[in-house]
Chain A
Amino acid sequence: MAAALRPAILRHIRIPVRTVSRSRPLACLNPLSTSMIRSMSSHGDDHLTKEEVIERVLDVVKNFPKVDPSKVNPDVHFQKDLGLDSLDNVEIVMALEEEFKLEIPDKEADKIDSCSLAIEYISNHPMAV
């Protein structure tokens, strides 16, 4: 009697298996699907905008004691236009390092001798804050 009961119960419990045709393409392979674009992700905002970099670099240069703030613009050259010397150059680069929390290697730091180079270097640096 139990032998007949068992299949009856199993038939009742078991869910019949249905095969689903996989004709619909996977959504992730479709490059135009909107699910690829993380519109709410704020990851892209980590990097500084160029305007912000320019403004902060100019502020640092203007606040340097030996500099005349009225002469400072994004194209100014530290030694040629602002009358600074190489020691001042090192000081300004150090001040920029502090402002943007960077560590600029000596070889690169030696090349930065104008506002435009500073702005370019900092904008391209992934770790600038």
Chain B
Amino acid sequence: MASAASAPSRAEVLSLFRSLLRTAAKFTDYNVREYAKRRTIDGFRENRGLSDPSSIASAFADGRNQLEVAMRQVVVYSLYAPKVKSVMEIGSG
């Protein structure tokens, strides 16, 4: 289904990174939220050194798909939001 996309520009990659982080921040569940943030950062950092345009394009497409998954899951999780805050979210002091 994905057409042969040309390599994304630097701005597009950073925009995808930001969108993923923003979406991750919307999760109501502490664990999933932290995981999504961590995974985004690790994933982008891991692929930082890619130089081949087709692998960059496929990694970008992967990221796009993950963004869609995350956006859907934010909605689903919000329907079952926990009533009590996780202990990790209680500020220190």
- A-B complex is real: yes
> What is A's interface to B at a CB cutoff of 8 Å?
85-87, 90-91, 94, 98, 106, 109-110
Is there a chain A Cβ closer than 8 Å to B76's Cβ? no
Whether A91 and B41, one on each chain, are in contact in the complex, defined by CB atoms closer than 8 angstroms, is yes
A94 with B22, Cβ < 8 A, contacts A86-B14, A110-B14 known: yes
Which label, helix, strand, loop or mixed, suits the secondary structure of the B interface? helix
Chain B interface bracket (under 10, 10 to 19, 20 to 34, 35 or more): 10 to 19
Whether A106 and B15, one on each chain, are in contact in the complex, defined by CB atoms closer than 8 angstroms, is yes
Which label, helix, strand, loop or mixed, suits the secondary structure of the A interface? helix
- Known contacts A87-B17, A90-B18, A106-B18; can you find 20 more A-B pairs with CB under 8 A? A85-B48, A86-B10, A86-B14, A87-B14, A87-B41, A87-B44, A87-B45, A90-B14, A90-B21, A91-B21, A91-B41, A94-B18, A94-B21, A94-B22, A94-B25, A98-B25, A106-B15, A109-B18, A110-B11, A110-B14
